[in-house]
A and B are shown apart, each in its own frame.
Chain A
Amino acid sequence: MAAEHAQHDEHPHASAAKYVQVAVILFVLTALEVVLYEICYGGLAPSMAGLSSQLEPWFVELLLFLSFWKFWFVAMFYMHLKFDNKVLSALFGFSLVIAFVVIVALLILFIYNRGLWWQTGQW
């Protein structure tokens, strides 16, 4: 039983240097999000028409991809899930799974009712 009732972990955390690295990554990812928007729809679109037309179909997917990694870095390092008790990761992960299922199910239910989005291509 000694293991199960062990002393609390002494401050599970990364080093300050790690925090700085993560901050840089977050900043770069946010900048990429904005640049992606500017290329597809914003001020850069006219001057980069070729790239713009290539990226535009994937705009939503790329944005979600970039924000997923931002989310992941904050959760893992700033919220120290990477170093902390796995129960906490399970707790957060399970809640996120249920939240995600609810979002996706609701979107399908409503989009389906508005007429077969895979046929019209319209959200």
Chain B
Amino acid sequence: MSSAAMDHGHSAGGHHTSLPIDNRKLAIWTFIGSECLFFATLISTFLIYRGQSVSGPGPKDIFEVPLVTGGTAVLLFSSFFVVMALNGAQEGNRKKLLTWLSLTVLCGMFFAGMQVYEFMHFYHLGLGYSTNLFSASFYTLTGFHGAHVTMGTLWLATLLKDAIKGNLPPEKSLNLEIAALYWHFVDVVWIIIFPVVYLMSLGN
């Protein structure tokens, strides 16, 4: 999405937009709307297959609340960090932008690392991708979420590189805004996954 061009935005060619929204911002929101159905299907499947596995291990054998709570907190903080970075970008405050954006990228890397560690840990406990229905639906759901986190981290890291080079002035802050919107969406998906997948699976 970062690549989406804006030849006809108000900045280029003098073409107006019908709504007072930039094309790219409208597009990322459209994409986010579409992604809602993507994750809805994954979450539905996870719930439908709750307790339907014919063999173990199940969620209660492997989930660990402290680890995933740590990951959750980091992802939530990163949402906060990226709005602060955007704030800095819009104000043209280079130091603020660089500080908060670096922290966001670090959070993204930490979360992705947490997930890699978690998957490896589960794998050692005997939960391979095709072990049972729980493992397949769990890994597919959280794996695709993790892929989104990774893509978002890459995107934000690219913008960080731009910012370091001084290529993210206030008039280009929209570049960061649309990346941040995607990042927040990935975060709200986790806001649902954390209780629905982890906590509810551990409860009855």
**Is there a direct interface between A and B, measured as CB atoms under 8 Å apart in the complex?**
yes
Query: Which residues of A are in contact with B by a Cβ distance under 8 Å?
Result: 4-9, 11, 13, 16, 19-20, 22-23, 26-27, 30, 33-34, 36-38, 40-42, 56, 59-60, 63-64, 66-67, 70-71, 74-75, 77-79, 84-85, 87-88, 91-92, 94-96, 98-100, 102-103, 106-107, 110, 123
A85 to B17: give the CA distance in the assembly, Å.
13
- Chain A positions within 8 Å of B51 at CB level: 123
- Chain B positions within 8 Å of A16 at CB level: 84, 87
User: Do the beta carbons of A103 and B40 come within 8 Å of each other?
Assistant: yes
Segment at the A interface, from B118-126, B159-167, B190-198: B190-198
A42 to B204: give the CA distance in the assembly, Å.
12
Not counting A42-B65, A77-B83, a sample of 15 additional A-B residue pairs whose C-beta atoms are within 8 angstroms of each other reads A4-B19, A11-B177, A19-B84, A22-B80, A30-B69, A30-B76, A34-B65, A34-B69, A34-B199, A42-B202, A59-B204, A70-B188, A85-B21, A95-B32, A102-B40
A63 to B197: give the CA distance in the assembly, Å.
11
Question: How would residues 172 to 204 of chain B score, 1 for a CB under 8 Å from any chain A CB and 0 otherwise?
Answer: 010001001100110110011011100110111
Give the distance to chain B from A68, nearest Cβ to Cβ, in Å: 9
User: Do the beta carbons of A60 and B203 come within 8 Å of each other?
Assistant: yes
User: Do the beta carbons of B20 and A79 come within 8 Å of each other?
Assistant: no
Query: How many Cβ-Cβ contacts under 8 Å join chain A to chain B?
Result: 152
Greatest chain B CB density within 10 A among A8, A22, A56, A91 is at: A8
Which single residue of chain A is at the shortest CB-CB distance from B60?
A41
Neighbour of B195 across the interface among A42, A64, A96, A106, CB < 8 A:
A64
- The SS class assigned to the A binding surface is helix
Query: Which residues of B are in contact with A by a Cβ distance under 8 Å?
Result: 10, 16-22, 25-26, 29-30, 32-34, 36-37, 39-41, 43-44, 47-48, 50-51, 65, 69, 72-73, 76-77, 79-80, 82-84, 86-87, 90, 173, 177, 180-181, 184-185, 187-188, 191-192, 194-196, 199-200, 202-204
User: Do the beta carbons of B40 and A99 come within 8 Å of each other?
Assistant: yes
User: Do the beta carbons of A63 and B199 come within 8 Å of each other?
Assistant: yes
9 closest residue pairs by CB, A with B: A95-B33, A99-B40, A23-B80, A63-B195, A95-B36, A99-B36, A106-B44, A70-B191, A110-B48
A109 to B197: give the CA distance in the assembly, Å.
20
User: Do the beta carbons of B194 and A19 come within 8 Å of each other?
Assistant: no
Give the distance to chain A from B109, nearest Cβ to Cβ, in Å: 20
- Chain A positions within 8 Å of B20 at CB level: 5-9, 85
